[in-house]
Each structure stands twice: as C-alpha cells, then as structure tokens.
Structure 1
Amino acid sequence: MDAGLYRAAREGNIEDLIQNKDHLESQLTPTNNTVLHVAAQFGHIQCVMEVLNTCPSMYRMVNSGGDTALHIAAREGQSTILRALVEYANALDEELEDGVGTAKDMLRMANAVGDTALHEAVRNHHPVAVQLLTREDPEFCHPANCVEETPLYLAAERGYVGLVFVILETCSAPAYGGPGCRTALHSAVIHNHEGSFGSLQGCTKKLLDWKGGLAREADLQAWTPLHYAAQFGHLSRVRELLNTDKSVGYLTDKDDKKTALHLAASRGHVDVMQELISHCPDCWEIVDGRGRNILHLAVKNHKKRAIKFILQDFSLSSLINQKDIDGNTPLHLLAASDCYAPLLVNHPKVDRMAFNKESLTPLDMVYSDGYTGLLWDSTKRSLINAGAVLGQRDVARSDNDELATKEKYHLHDKVLPAEIRRAANTNLIVAALIATATFSAGFTIPGGYNSSNGRDQGMATLTRKAAFKAFVVTDALALISSIAAACSYSVVARDSDRIVLLKHDTIGYLLLIFAMGAMVLAFVTGFYAVLADSSGLAVTLCIMGCFPFLINHFFQRKVW
C-alpha cells in the first residue's frame, strides 16, 4: 500500500483518501488489508464512510486471514465502526440467492479459522460490540469455529458473565459447544472463579436456567459438568447442578465407570461428598469399573479426611468390607500402599481376616508387597495389634513369598541404617550445639550476680522475678533434652537393627524438637526478665519468640 495512503487511513486524513479514491481497491498491505481494514482498525468513522461511499464492494473484501473490516472492528472493539458497517449493509438493496440479507450475510462470514465477528468481540471482551452483533442477527446460531469454539463457550470459559447473559437473552438458539464435545456449562464449571470473580456463579445458574438439559450432556470422556465440579471440589457448582437435576449424580464416565462421588472421594473433597450424598442418598452404592467403592478410592489415593468421613457415617458401614473385582477390601488396599490410616485398621466392623482372590489377608499383603520404612512398620504394627493374622492358605507360596521378601529387604536393611546414621550425625551436632549454648547461658545468667558483701553475695540479682525463674527452668529443660537426644543418637551410631535404629532416631528427633522449643522459651523469658521495665519491647520479643513454634506447627501439618 502506498505509504501516504496508509498514513491517511491510519490517521483519519480524509482529504488524502479523496485524492486517491480512484485506486483504493488495488492498494493492499502485506497481509492484504484494504484501506477500509486500516480505517476500521484505528476507529476513523469518517474515513470508513468515505471509503464505503467510494467503493461499495469493499465491505466484503477480506485480508489474507479471511477477515473482513467487520472482523477487524469487532476485534478492536470499535463499536461505532461496527454500527456503521451494519447500517451500510442494511441500506443496500441487493439480496443473495438464499434470501439472506446483506447485513446478516456479512455478520455470518467466517475467517480462515472459522471465527465470525462475534467470536472476535467475545474473545476480546467488548460488551457493546457483542450487544450490537447479537441484536442484529438474533436468529443465527453462531456456530463453532475450526477448533470447536462457539462464542457462548468462549464467554463462559473466560468468565465473561455479562457476555453470556447478552448472548442467551438476545439469541433465540445459540450454539453452546466447545472442544472435546464440552458445552459452555462444562467450561463455566471447570473455570470456577468464584474466589476472584463471584459473578461466574451467576454464569452457571444462568446456563442451567436457560437449558437445564446441559447438566446431563457429557464430553468425549462421558464426563458431565458434575464430574468436573466434583473433581475440582467446586461445592457451589455441585449444589447448583444437583438442584437442577439430581439424576446426574448417578451418571458414570466412559472408561472407569466413575460417578461424581467417586471422583470427590479420590480427591478427598469431603464437603462435595456430603452434598452429593444428601441429594442422592443411595449413590454411594455404585462401584466403578474395577468394583471399587468410594472407600476403596479414598484409601488408594491416601485421602484421610475422606476415609474418616466414610468410617464415621454409620449408613456407609457396608462399604468397609466390600470387595472389588480382585477380592480386595479397602483394608487390603491400605496394606498394599504406603498410606497409614489406623482409623480403618482399628474400626470395629473391619474384617482383618478377609481373603482376596489370591488367598491373601491384609497382613499377607503387608509382607508380600515389600513395602518398607516408617509407614510400612506402622501399618504392620497396627494390623498386628488390632488382631490381624497371616492367612496361611497357601503355605508353599507363603514360604516362597517370605524368601523373596527377605531378598528384597536384604539391600534395604543395609541402605536404610546408613541413611538414618547420616541424618543422626547431623542431628547429633545440633543437639551438641544446643547443649553448649544452654550450658553457657546457665552460668552467664541475665542480670548477672550480686557482687556486694553480705549473705546474698554471688546470688543472681533477678532471683525473685518470675520471668527469671522461668528462664532457669526452660534453660535446664533444653540442656537436659539436648543431652538425652545426643544419648539416643549415640545408640543409632552403634546399633545395626533397623527397628531399633528407627525407634531411637524418632526418640532423638522428638527430644531435639523439645530442646529447641525450650531454648527459645529460655531466650524469651531471659530477655523479659531484664526488660521488664520496657513492657513494649518485652512483649514484642515474646511475640517474636512464638514464631518458631507456629512455623514448625505449620510444616509438621503439611508433612503429616
């Protein structure tokens, strides 16, 4: 395109456009944009009208991407240009062969990737443009583009609830599909922005009010919107879907035959599980494609809150000993994993002597699967303490399994003690440092000693203060605990039995944590004793002294 002509279209210089009006159609940019495209992009309405009056056919010309000037204006949100283009098209008297008007034909034109002007307006969130385009052609369904996106789906996916409302209230029968056979309702449920964009809650409700059957429509995996709501733990979405159609709580997917309740149990979303069961009180009876119930899935995925919820609900007690297609009860799955759930092991209704199809009890599973480590030992110990025994149905195979298990553990029995000793050596240094620091603090006490002659000579000057007494006690506790931890770690250094190592390493760790806490308290109380007259500073130090406990509590909860 001529540089002067392009500059005139970009800057809205009508005079230069008029001077070059004889060859406007032949002037194109590298991407085949016409002068009308450029003027529409930059929002120069007078230039647009001048070009249309000069070259009436230019409104239908497309660039290399298949975009008309209407696409460009919709993408940029130039609502004035959109209105002018539509009015101009309506003013033309010509009719296409199929009887569709010129304006509607322009509105329905798709570019190279199948986007109409409404796609562009929705994607770039231009509400005025969306209102104009939908009101001009309300009967059009606005179908999907080349990647199966409809304008309604895009609006729901991006959380543009206002645009969803406009499309639903203006168009008589808009298309609502998306990629993977998902619907706009799938998208609204998946992209739940309730925390940041509370309006999306209205989006889901609006879609359900518009077409309640969307709640039952499934995607390529046969997942309904309720499946996704349960998977992601969107409680509000679950409630809205169930209030519309309770039967969706019984629908299963294509591959694993899982209901929404199965997914909620697998993810540990207890609040969603409660909502599903309250609306569909018998949906917990459904098993998945492998014959597993919700307790199986909660155990398999180590969801302890879900396990606790199921075990505490008396109406769900029949799930405790139910077997899957392999004959495994939830306790079998617990024994074969590294999940530690004593609540299930010690439940009064659990069958600890149940056999699966391989004639194995849960305790047999503990030995046969070869798990090791603290959780393995804890699970084995809790099963034995609860009364679980070996099945002994196939003694010959049991002997072979025992031999194989010993071979598995042979290397582990060498590796694990070495790892424990390395960790113990580090903790032993920490214990020694705490002992040294607290020992020194015991003789360099806060406030010093009384140097005046008399019977109090050599006594601590702050002896009568409560904070000083607390300092002495906590400092002594820190010293004693650190020395005890060092003694426990010394056993780790010389013993070779794995169980003994684990036991003493755990004891040493707990003593070390206690010593650290006591040392912090000694620090706080010692400073408080000498800063009692400055209450603000003393209280500030006390508050700061609580930070290590809060941080440790936070990380301990994360770990466990």
Structure 2
Amino acid sequence: MCSKLYIAAFEGRTDEVITLFAGSGGAAVEAGNGGRPTPATKEAADHHGACNIHEVTADRSTVLHIAARQGHDDLVSELCRRDSALLSMANSSGDTPLHSAARAGRACAVREIARLARANVEEHRLRALSRGKNAAGETALHLAARHGHGAAAEELMAMAPDVASELDDSGVSPLYLAVMSRSVRAVEAILLRKDASAAGPDSQNALHVAVLQSQEMVSLLLQWRPELATCLDRNQSTPLHFASSDGDCGIIKTILSQAPSSTAYLQDSEGLSALHAAALMGHAAAVRLLLQLSPASADIHDIHGRSFLHAAATRGHVSIVSHATKNRMLEHLLNEQDKEGNTPLHLAVLAGEYKVISKLLSSGKVQNHIMNNAGHTPSDLAANSTGFYTMVRVVLKLYVSDAQFKPQRQDHIVKWHGQDILKWQASTSKYLAVVSTLVATIAFSATFNMPGSYGSDGKANLSGDHMYNAFVVLDTVAMTTSVMATILLVYGRIAQSHRSWPSFIMAVHIFWLSLITMMLAFFVAVNAVMEKNNSLRHITVLVMVVSLFT
C-alpha cells in the first residue's frame, strides 16, 4: 500500500482517499469546500498514478481494515459502497475489518459495518461474516470481550446474537473473556443470550474467574445460570473452591445463597473441599463463614484423611486453629488422625509451626501422647521439623508440656539421630559462647563509659535523666543475660549429653534477649546525650520502637 493512501486512511481523510483512487485525472475536490480543492486533495491529485482500493499493507490489511481500526465511519461507508467485497477480506492474521474494529473497540465502526453488511450481502454471507474466525479461531465478539470493549460487544450481539455460543481454538467463550477483562457492560450484553457459552480453559466456566473479579459479576452469572456454581474444572474444583481460596466472604455468601446446599460439600481431585481451600490459605474469616453456613462441611476429609484443621496446622495458620480450639462443635477434630495416624499436632510439629503447637497444647484439649501408624508421638517427630532453631523451640515447648515419647527401652533410645545433632549443638554452642562473652564484655565496659561522662565528684552527669536510667537498666539486663547464656552454653559443652538440651535451648533464648537489650541500650544512650528538641532524637526514638516490635 502506498504511503499516502495509508496515512490518509489512518487519519480518516475520506476525500483524499477518494482522490487517490481517482488519480491525476479525477475530480480532486472536496464537496464541503465549495468545489475548491484543499491542499490535501491537491497533493493527492498530483500523485502519479491512481491507487488501488485492493492495495494491502505488510500484514495484508486492506484500507478498510485501517479505517475500521481507527473508527472512521464515513470512510468505512464510502469504501464499502465502492466494493462490498472488502468486508470479508482477511489479513495475514485472519482478521476481517470487523475483527479490527472490535479489537480496537470502535463501536461506531462495528455498527456501520453491520449496517453495510445487511445492505450489501446476502443473509448467509452476513451470517458467515459475523461468525467468521481469525487464525486463532476468534470471532469479532471474542476480541471485543477480551479487551473489555462493552459498547463494541453490544453492537456485535445486536448484529449476530448466536455468536455468543462460539468458542475459539482454545475452547474459550466470549463470556469468559468478558469476565476476565472485568467489563460488566460486555458481560451484560452477552448474558442477554440464554444459550451463550460460559466455557473457559481447563474446563473452567465464567463463574470460576468471576469469583476472582467482583461480586457484581458473580451475581449476574448466577442469576443467568445458577448451575454454574456446581460445574467442575479439570481439577474438579468448583467456583466456590476458587472463592474460598481467595477469601472473599461476600462472594462466598453470594454463591452459597444461590447455589444448591450441597455445593459446600463438593471435593476436588485431591479430596479438598472449599473449607480446606480457605484453611490452606489462612483465610480465617472465610473459614468461620463456611462453618456457619455449612457446619457439616467440617467433617469432610481429603484423600489423605485430613480435615481442614490438619490443613491449617500444616500451614501454620494459628488463627484458624485457635477458632477450632474454642468451638465446641470442632473439638472432635483436635485429636483426629489422618490415614497415616497423624493428628494436627503431629503435622504442626513436622512443619515446625511453633505458634500452632503452642496454641494446641495450651488449649488443654489436645492429647500429646497419641501415636501415629509408625508408632511416633509428636515428640518423636520434633527432630524432623524444619530448621534447627525451630526444632529447638518445638522441643522446649513439648518438654514444658510434659509431652511423651513412644515407649521403648532406655538403652535403645537413639539420641537425636546419633551424634549429628550433638555435633551441631557442640559447634553452635562454641560460637554462641564466644559471642555472648563479647556481649558481656561490651555491656561491662559500658558501665565505665557512661553517656554524658562523669563529673568532678565521680558521679554521672546525666544521673536522674529518664533516658540515662533506662540505659542503666538495659545495660544491666544485657550483661546479666549474656553471662547467664555463657554459663549455660559452657555447661552444655561439658555435659555432652541429651540432658544438655534444655540448657542449650534456654541459653539461645537468653542470648537473644541480651542482644536485643544491648541494641536498645545503644539507642537509649544516643538519645540521652542529644538535645530534647533535636529532630534526630525523635528519629532515634522511632528506630528504637520499630526495632523493639520487630
């Protein structure tokens, strides 16, 4: 396509396009200009040789494609009047001018093409044009819906309503794409057709994606076709599974109010219910809502025999576990075993979820002596929890709760998988003892280098200042705790037995306390020697508070 024709069509200069078609011998005048040629039409008239209406661009788009894509209705009308065959011509992507107008959201161009098609082509050709697909198997309605062009979708539905049932080569319907684009207007236009398809990829339907978009779309789809709520995708997941995993209580309530009551009991290919999905994601509010609307769903178990409480315990969602410990109707789940004999406490220990373990044990309703199918109690599994420090905290919590190990002869007990963990403890104790000694040294030396120095009477200049007093307290705590940690670590290295574990665990916790108090003492000391109105003092206080709570 020649450059002048392309630019004129792109900018919608109808008279210039006509002039280019006429060549140098045509009447290069503009009707609205009193018969006088304009500069644009004069330049076009000087163009050597007439342009052809069938010229195409590099992607084989015609001048009608360009005019439709830019929404130039007058030019579209003029081009179709000259050659109606342009309506069905496709470019290298298989797009007709109708596709181009729909993709760009040119509702007026779509309407004009529809009008011209009815006037210039036979009924069967009009049907073929409206249902025509490009190389990706998409109709014009697919493109309008994909890009969220509601007005264009309305025009296309008015042109050919039955196209709403067409699927592209991926098995996706225009309705699914309209929901994906979050265009309520496009969705409403398509829903006017009762037999429209709601199909999406992986056997999903439009409601599967609507629950992740907005409650308005969910309501529209359920009013249109309530049975969408019970449709399953490739993984046997319902839209309620999707909504529960997203945690939107409003959408969950909308689905359960309009869908059959059995919807909450449907399970996916892993046996997970919507309640499981909410528990796995830690959506406590969604879990409470599902239990309120469908209490019996609490007894659903997955293919491993695990309830939603097992799922929450494994993921460390303490708020859900806390709700279960306080709900009388859920108490039977606290000690329930899965197919491998594991209770929620077993799984929490394996996952190293200390807060869940603490919540379960502190409830007073969990039995810590239950053995799984392998004969292991939760205490036996502590050594397999993730992370060494986590394992230390778990062991301490179980020890304090008087948790039992499986019965066995004392001379057959393997102490923490042989010597591996003892070696780790020994090397860690050595390094921690060095650091704790260093902290004690720093804290001790700070007492002879007080903030603000000393006066001639040998007393601290800042004595009586509340920041100074805070420094003295924090420095004392830092020194005391670091010395205690050093003593416990040294004792543990000397003992070299399983009895050294409690002392090692206590030493780790005390050591962290010494580090925190030493850091806070530094901030307080810096704050004490600053002027009260100094802006840096306020920044220091802010940093200290943030450090304390993190």
1:454 equivalent in structure 2 = none
Give the superposed CA RMSD.
3.0
Question: Structure 1 residue 231: deviation in Å?
Answer: 1.5
Residue 470 (structure 2) pairs with residue 474 (structure 1): yes
Residue 53 (structure 2) pairs with residue 24 (structure 1): yes
Question: Structure 1 residue 248: deviation in Å?
Answer: 1.2
Question: Structure 1 residue 133: deviation in Å?
Answer: 1.3
1:383 equivalent in structure 2 = 398
2:202 equivalent in structure 1 = 180
Question: Structure 1 residue 179: deviation in Å?
Answer: 0.6
In 1, the alpha carbon distance for the partners of 2:387 and 2:122 equals: 82
Residue 517 (structure 2) pairs with residue 514 (structure 1): yes
Residue identity opposite 2:201 in structure 1? P
In 2, the alpha carbon distance for the partners of 1:491 and 1:544 equals: 37
In 2, the alpha carbon distance for the partners of 1:80 and 1:427 equals: 77
1:410 equivalent in structure 2 = 419
Residue identity opposite 1:66 in structure 2? G
Counterpart contact for 1:424–1:505, Cα < 8 Å: no
Residue 88 (structure 2) pairs with residue 60 (structure 1): yes
1:304 equivalent in structure 2 = 318
Deviations 1:388-433 (A, max 9, x none): 33332xx58x976x34x55x34123223443454456456556655
Matching of residues 48-197 of structure 1 within 5 Å: 48-92=76-120, 94-96=122-124, 102-168=125-191, 170-190=192-212, 192=213
Residue identity opposite 2:466 in structure 1? A
Q: How many residues align?
A: 511
Deviations 1:114-149 (A, max 9, x none): 111112222223232122112222343342211222
Structure 1: tracts of 5 or more residues without a match: 97-101, 193-199, 452-456, 532-536, 556-560
Residue identity opposite 2:240 in structure 1? L
In 1, the alpha carbon distance for the partners of 2:107 and 2:451 equals: 80
Aligned residue among 269, 273, 277 for 1:259: 273
In 2, the alpha carbon distance for the partners of 1:439 and 1:458 equals: 11
Matching of residues 307-326 of structure 1 within 5 Å: 307-326=321-340
In 1, the alpha carbon distance for the partners of 2:537 and 2:313 equals: 43
Counterpart contact for 2:151–2:185, Cα < 8 Å: no
Question: Structure 1 residue 221: deviation in Å?
Answer: 0.5
Question: Structure 1 residue 107: deviation in Å?
Answer: 1.8
Structure 2 SS opposite 1:140: helix
2:372 equivalent in structure 1 = 356
Question: Structure 1 residue 156: deviation in Å?
Answer: 1.2
In 1, the alpha carbon distance for the partners of 2:489 and 2:378 equals: 35
Would the alpha carbon gap of residues 384 and 87 (structure 1) be closer, same or farther in structure 2, given more than 3 Å must change? same
In 1, the alpha carbon distance for the partners of 2:394 and 2:460 equals: 52
Counterpart contact for 1:6–1:35, Cα < 8 Å: yes
Residue identity opposite 1:213 in structure 2? E
Would the alpha carbon gap of residues 206 and 553 (structure 1) be closer, same or farther in structure 2, given more than 3 Å must change? farther
Question: Structure 1 residue 343: deviation in Å?
Answer: 2.5
Question: Structure 1 residue 233: deviation in Å?
Answer: 1.8
Counterpart contact for 2:20–2:51, Cα < 8 Å: no
In 2, the alpha carbon distance for the partners of 1:213 and 1:278 equals: 23
Counterpart contact for 2:433–2:490, Cα < 8 Å: no
Would the alpha carbon gap of residues 317 and 176 (structure 1) be closer, same or farther in structure 2, given more than 3 Å must change? same
Counterpart contact for 1:432–1:486, Cα < 8 Å: no
Matching of residues 4-43 of structure 1 within 5 Å: 4-11=4-11, 12=13, 13-14=16-17, 15-19=19-23, 23-25=52-54, 27-43=55-71
Counterpart contact for 1:121–1:130, Cα < 8 Å: yes
In 1, the alpha carbon distance for the partners of 2:370 and 2:508 equals: 35
Deviations 1:257-310 (A, max 9, x none): 111111222222111110001100111011111111122222222222221111
Residue 335 (structure 2) pairs with residue 339 (structure 1): no
In 1, the alpha carbon distance for the partners of 2:372 and 2:450 equals: 62
Question: Structure 1 residue 514: deviation in Å?
Answer: 2.0
Q: TM-score, normalised by structure 1?
A: 0.82
Identity across the alignment (%) = 27
Counterpart contact for 2:157–2:164, Cα < 8 Å: no
Deviations 1:320-367 (A, max 9, x none): 222211222223333444222123224433233323323333334446
In 2, the alpha carbon distance for the partners of 1:356 and 1:272 equals: 30
In 1, the alpha carbon distance for the partners of 2:350 and 2:61 equals: 66
Counterpart contact for 1:59–1:69, Cα < 8 Å: yes
Structure 2: tracts of 5 or more residues without a match: 24-48
Counterpart contact for 1:265–1:298, Cα < 8 Å: yes
In 2, the alpha carbon distance for the partners of 1:232 and 1:425 equals: 48
Would the alpha carbon gap of residues 437 and 388 (structure 1) be closer, same or farther in structure 2, given more than 3 Å must change? closer
